[in-house]
Amino acid sequence: MMCVWIWLKAEFSENLLGWVTLLVAVVAALVAYGQLKAMREQTQSSIRPMMGALLKPGRYINEPIRVSINNFGQSIAYDVSLEFDPPLPEPNITKLNERGRLTRKGTKEGKEVTIHYRESPIALLNKFLLNQTVDTWPPYYEVGFDYWVARKDPDLGESAEGIPANTKLKINYRDRDNKWYSDDFALRPQLLAGINFHTDGTRTD
């Protein structure tokens, strides 16, 4: 009877050791898989496309603020589309020249002249940037468009064309693995209010 008990105890201990060894192996495999997955995600994040938008001041005080769009990532962005929230108002060149700060004062044929806007920045944005999809956007490729024309009065709540100061630009795009991204960028012209500008911007072109 004692022999049987010793045999059963030894058999149980051996089986228990086997199960413990198996459990340790499974846990180690899960940990290794998690680490491998985290490393893969980290690698993908470091080489993913990363579209971005920001405002840049004009060189001279009365020039429009420009919106700049760039791919700050390490790989190509595909099927890039852009939309403003809220949508941009309808372009109105008459309203623009009545309410906006005129670009510059210059001289032409010996006479002082005021340079008016010939085309609305909103019209150019609609024509070349919105309502279309860009098939491929390479890394560090940057485009810029006139965006915000300051008003003659000090109101920073909206531009001369009626663009609200709290407008956001939404950029949708995907990477080569068909993972989609959607990023919103606040376009705050108030943040550029303290910038110093050149003052000798007299030209008539």
pLDDT in tens, 5-21: 454 455 555 565 666 66
59 C-beta neighbours (distance < 10 Å), count: 9
CA distance 64 to 57: 7
What's the pLDDT score for residue 101?
Answer: 78
> How does DSSP assign 78-145, residue by residue?
EEEEEEEESPPPPP-HHHHHHHBPPS-EEEETTEEEE---SS-HHHHHHHHTSSS-EEEE-TT-EEEE
Residue 194 region by backbone torsions, left for phi larger than 0, else alpha for psi between -120 and 50, else beta: alpha
Q: Which residues contact 8 (CB under 8 A, 6 or more apart)?
A: none
With a cut of 70, which residues of the chain have pLDDT below it? 1-24, 28-29, 31-46, 61, 102-115, 194-205
DSSP reduced 3-state for 152: coil
Q: Name the residue with tokens 């030209």.
A: 203
The domain locations on the chain are 1-47, 50-192
pTM above 0.75? no
What's the pLDDT score for residue 72?
Answer: 95
Q: Which helix (H) or strand (E) holds 43?
A: helix 2-47
